[in-house]
Structure 1
């Protein structure tokens, strides 16, 4: 790819927004703090189900646990989708991150021609480096049930000063993996894959097993079968082998003492060089 890779909002709308497509609205802004934060605010203003917002750059992009997501202009896909799955039980809304992750794997293969895997819970991995992340956020208690799902994808080659993630996880991009796909094409491909999987998830009342999402996620998850160190939010850690992902999206770890534990939140480091 050469030159500035512009996002083509007209092409995206023509392909994806009603009446030609499944989304209610799609906007592209030059810069914002966070597309997730913008759509969470739009929930209160009555924004429609399946509203999409993309940004050329974010000045306050966020990942899990309020970590910064670096969003250089003209290089990545930074987008969020507002969903109003009113019939889905609130306890299942968190599994939308699995839907988004599986859609990333599909788009990486179908649009970019790149084989990628998922590192639990929400990192898209290419050859041991992180290419994309996901942040899913539900509206605060008292608001009408809504969820904003955001992705940050490194499409073009990154500067060398991009910091490593938790556990020293290096960053990469689709272009560095050999892709020539542009940002508009990848955004469109992910939005198509996501809405197809999300529709099945919604029709199944958020049940990832019945919708088929869990089977696809397990197949794409490179964490399963790995020896891992799970770093918990309270500062403690578990060592063991990741053996499965359950219907709630939790990572099941067989600990070194022989017991098994489900992990709902935390950072997982793959320990490939340890016995």
Structure 2
């Protein structure tokens, strides 16, 4: 499947502090939908909640793409695309952490200006990362696809194809795919403000959680962790 709109034009940098920062600059200057920024090495990548994203040079896929008129469920779209790249065993910890064998293999960050109808979607995937390449604090939670450096570019093309497809998919198809990969289903979780049992993703893309008293709440966004043990992918 050829990429029709995403990935052209493409700016590839040997090293950059943040592909998202560069892509935001391009978007604000009028860059077209699908404009892609990639880098061999990223020195100051960021994930959600202001966390850093470590990407060893040449071993991780690091990209940011400009999207015009992005969908409301963009983080979930990104998760579906990355999970497809990661393989049949990959699970999604709502909203967009992609896990393989319980370890986080990708970082996803969507930023933008809704009033100007654009967003920048930043994705980092540990394609060929070795655990020794990562800071000691990440080795217990981070994962890798276990491939080789030469697989980074083919993975980029596969990811762009998947992202293109999920951007165009009907909402019910997207939600069905995520429910099939739900890492939190029927598990005890906690979040800032409460705890309960995850009961799936509703039609609005929200995580439904049942509290101990039986009340069900739908979480719009934020950090959700397993109630016991270290939060998976909390890196």
Q: Give TM-score, length-normalised by structure 2.
A: 0.87
Q: Which runs of 4+ in 1 moved over 4 A?
A: none
The CA deviation string for residues 12-58 of structure 1, in whole angstroms up to 9 with x for no partner, is xxx64xxxx43331221111111111111111211001111111111
Shift of 1:249: 2.2
CA distance in 2, matches of 1:200, 1:129: 27
Residue 138 (structure 1) shift: 2.1
Bigger CA radius of gyration? 1
TM-score normalized by structure 1? Answer: 0.75
SS of 1:59 mapped into structure 2 = strand
Distance 1:140 1:169 in 2: 36
2:126 to 154, 158, 164: 154
Structure 2 partner of 1:56: 40
Unaligned runs of 5+ in 2: 230-235
1:214 partnered with 2:166: no
What does residue 131 of structure 1 align with?
105
1:1-275 correspondence to structure 2 within 5 Å? 16=3, 21-23=4-6, 24-85=8-69, 93=72, 95-109=73-87, 115-139=89-113, 141=115, 144-156=116-128, 157-159=130-132, 161-164=134-137, 170-175=141-146, 179=147, 182-200=151-169, 208-209=171-172, 212-230=173-191, 232=192, 237-271=193-227
2:194 counterpart SS class: strand
Greater percentage in strand: 2
Query: Helix, strand or coil for the counterpart of 2:143?
Result: coil
Alignment size in residue pairs: 225
RMSD of aligned alpha carbons:
2.2
**Unpaired segments of 5 or more residues in structure 1?**
1-14, 202-207
Q: 1:169 to 1:251 in 2, by over 3 A?
A: farther
